[in-house]
Amino acid sequence: MTFWLRHITRQRSAWLLLGLSAVFLEVCALLFQHVLGLRPCLMCIYERLVVIGLLGSSLIALIDPAKSLWRWGGLILWGLSIYRGLQLSLRHVDYLLHPSPFNSCSFFPDFPAWLPLDIWFPWWFKPLAECSERQWNLWGWELPQWLVLIFSVYLIVWIVIVAANLLTHKYLAE
């Protein structure tokens, strides 16, 4: 099983699947905003950036997944992105479930001065709502709670893939 998992990370199709899942999540976010009329908050915007990090990790690995440099570059960015995404979505759930004036997000993104995404692409990166605002739910779960689940699944898959790559590498080296 570990050899198979290591083998699929060397295939472009696995990284293409990761990239397509990230594109799907971004398209869903934009549909929620521009078709369903949900207004994104600051945490939503940051969570979108995490998904762009996922897309970036797949693009890095797609360069040549058979080479360790590109594969591990993709794996590292994938892990960092998902770890940050899980942190953000858990904090977002906290804002949502425990609203108070002392537990809320800002209305202003903290983008670097050289990369003002909210000014360059306001239709995509401008926060328009408060993080504790409830706008949509499915089966009793709000959108940030679904993101916790989604990012957790990505993290579990990442852990299994990294473990398989490390274990088979150690086994092959002996």
For 23-69, what is each residue's pLDDT tens digit? Answer: 999 999 999 998 988 888 888 999 999 999 999 999 999 999 888 89
- Exactly one of 44, 71, 91, 134 is catalytic; name it: 44
- Exactly one of 10, 28, 39, 41 is catalytic; name it: 41
Instruction: Give yes or no: 28 in active site.
Output: no
Instruction: Give yes or no: 41 in active site.
Output: yes
- Exactly one of 6, 12, 48, 84 is catalytic; name it: 48
- Exactly one of 12, 71, 131, 134 is catalytic; name it: 131
135 Cβ partners below 8 Å, 6+ apart?
38, 39, 129, 143
Q: What is the pLDDT of residues 144-167, one digit of tens each?
A: 899 999 999 999 999 988 888 787
Q: Which residue has the tokens 């040549």?
A: 64
90 Cβ partners below 8 Å, 6+ apart?
148
